[in-house]
Amino acid sequence: MADLNSILLAVAVIGIYSLIVLVLWKLKYLEKYNFTPWAGPILMWKTKRGKKFLDSLATRKRFWEWFGNISVVIAIISMFFITALLVWSVSKVNMIPKEKAPSPELLLGIPGINPVIPVFYGIIGLVVAIVFHELAHGVLARVAGLEVKSVGILLFVFPIGAFVEPDEEELLKISRLKRSRVLAGGPAANLIIAFFALLVFSLALAPAMEPRAYGIGIVGIEKNSPASNTSLQPYDILVSLNGTNVTNYSEFKEALNLTKPGDTVAIAFYSRARNAIVTENITIGNRYNFIQEEENKGKPYLGVTILPLDLVSFKDQLANPFRGGVTGFLTFLSLPFLGLSPLDAGIGSFYVINSPLGPDAFFLLLNIFYWIFWINLMVGLTNTLPSLPLDAGYLVRDGLYILVGRTKTGKEKTERIVKYVMIGIGLLVLFMILFQIIGPRIFGT
């Protein structure tokens, strides 16, 4: 129902916006203020302002040429990585339960529509990504001697992109190396920004977090459960159960499984309200009384919802996203899907902040840098998918022209071969993306 409501709300907002655009277009207000329909209700706002700024940046030509060369390498590596990741994801759709299949709005990287991207932090991350992406394109275009006809933004309900409009005829006439620099600069800039945001997040901010107690974070107490009969509250930290220290989920389960329904045991927990470790007795419940499934009969139950990662591991994951290799990094990227980013005051209350910043300012900065990293990484990787009209698609097209040209095929036939190969690649990429949504619903467990 929640997914349906969010989809209906998105459809309503888009419908109202599209109607307003249609009325303004009919009344010729769009032309008056330099707005041009680009694709249906998506508008382009063009201006010549900012061209002088691009020219001033482009004066350091040698630096930007080196940046362009590095960008081409980054874009090619990223293209192989994201393509391999997409293929791997397709191969795993049968392992996703049908009821947990991703919703369609997850394909849209729009804050407020995509349920995992928060509006405030998402807009900040998106603006940073758009500005640096197009700035890199624009500066490298000027370094290559291309005329920039205009700069501007794309609007669809709110700004969803920015653009630098070089002269396309000139772009096709310059050398492939110069063109590659211009095309690769945008996604490479996003990936570089993502890397620096990650450094600030993990090296300067996350290490300042220290758990208030070594245990497991409680984020919810079920009504009428055994835990509700104690003073244990959400965002307290469970330290021990029945005399056994519990610092992670495995230790908690082991300690709980050593009890049985009806046992009265001691629990120790850090109470946020009292700012102290408190010890109380709790009577273990029967899990079947709360979740009436046959396998739950006779199983012990407390009625607490705990943080998916233990407090120490969670802090370590933030401070070192590559802890645990690729799996650890994917966990770090998945924090929004686990409900762990943005970090709110509740989860933040599990930690003491050893920083001159107050907790509110600290978590504001922590979340800003996480989402600058996350969205720049997604924008950079997306634009290195080998499909038109994405940046890497043009790089692949140029590469195909070189490969086919070596076979001494005629110009007309070469263009036809390249055209159909690019269409095939584009359809394959589109299929793999859509299959992330459709596949689990058909082949999921």
Closest CA to 35 of 127, 130, 153, 165: 153
pLDDT, position 390:
81
pLDDT, position 367:
93
pLDDT, position 2:
42
- One DSSP character per residue, 175-202 reads -HHHHHHHHHHHHHHHHHHHHHHHHIII
Claim to verify: residue 192 and residue 123 sit in the same structural domain: yes
Claim to verify: residue 169 and residue 192 sit in the same structural domain: yes
Claim to verify: residue 270 and residue 169 sit in the same structural domain: no
Claim to verify: residue 88 and residue 196 sit in the same structural domain: yes
pLDDT, position 237:
93
pLDDT, position 430:
86
Domain finish residue from 258, 288, 309: 309
* Assigned domain for 7 exists: no
Q: Which domain holds residue 52?
A: 34-202+381-443
Claim to verify: residue 248 and residue 187 sit in the same structural domain: no
* Assigned domain for 343 exists: no
Claim to verify: residue 172 and residue 237 sit in the same structural domain: no
| C-beta separation of 219 from 305 below 8 A | yes
* Assigned domain for 348 exists: no
3-state secondary structure of 323: coil
Q: How far apart are CA 178 and CA 47, in angstroms?
A: 25
| C-beta separation of 214 from 246 below 8 A | no
pLDDT, position 160:
60
The size of the chain, in residues, is: 445
Domain finish residue from 284, 309, 334: 309
Claim to verify: residue 83 and residue 224 sit in the same structural domain: no
pLDDT, position 339:
78
Strands (E), 214-299: 216-221, 237-241, 244-245, 264-271, 276-283, 285-286
Class of residue 409 by CB neighbours under 10 A (exposed 0-12, middle 13-18, buried 19+) = middle
Claim to verify: residue 86 and residue 138 sit in the same structural domain: yes
* Assigned domain for 326 exists: no
pLDDT, position 314:
86
Number of domain units in the chain: 2
Claim to verify: residue 80 and residue 227 sit in the same structural domain: no
Claim to verify: residue 254 and residue 399 sit in the same structural domain: no
Phi, psi of 96 (to 5 degrees): -90, 125
The continuous run of DSSP H or E covering 24 comes out as: helix 2-26
| C-beta separation of 117 from 110 below 8 A | yes
Distances (CA, A) of 281 to 97, 180, 224, 357: 38, 68, 16, 38
Domain finish residue from 309, 340, 368: 309
The continuous run of DSSP H or E covering 216 comes out as: strand 216-221
* Assigned domain for 405 exists: yes
* Assigned domain for 23 exists: no
Claim to verify: residue 228 and residue 153 sit in the same structural domain: no
* Per-residue pLDDT tens digits of the chain, which is 445 residues long: 444 555 566 677 777 877 887 888 777 777 777 777 765 677 767 666 667 788 888 889 999 999 999 999 999 999 999 898 888 888 877 777 777 777 766 666 666 667 788 888 888 898 888 889 888 988 898 888 888 776 666 676 666 666 666 666 777 788 888 888 988 999 999 999 999 999 999 999 999 999 998 899 998 999 889 999 999 999 999 999 998 999 888 899 999 999 999 999 999 999 988 989 999 999 999 998 888 888 888 899 999 988 877 888 888 889 999 887 888 888 888 888 877 778 877 788 888 888 888 888 899 999 999 999 999 999 899 889 888 878 888 888 888 888 887 777 777 888 888 889 889 988 988 888 888 888 777 776 7
* Assigned domain for 333 exists: no
Q: How far apart are CA 345 and CA 327, in angstroms?
A: 27
Q: Work out whether the CA dihedral 250, 444, 339, 2 comes out positive or negative.
A: negative
* Assigned domain for 52 exists: yes
- One DSSP character per residue, 297-350 reads TT-EE--EEE-SS-HHHHHHHHH-TTTTHHHHHHHHHTGGGGT-SS--HHHHTT
Claim to verify: residue 50 and residue 167 sit in the same structural domain: yes
**CATH number of the domain that residue 279 is part of:** 2.30.42.10
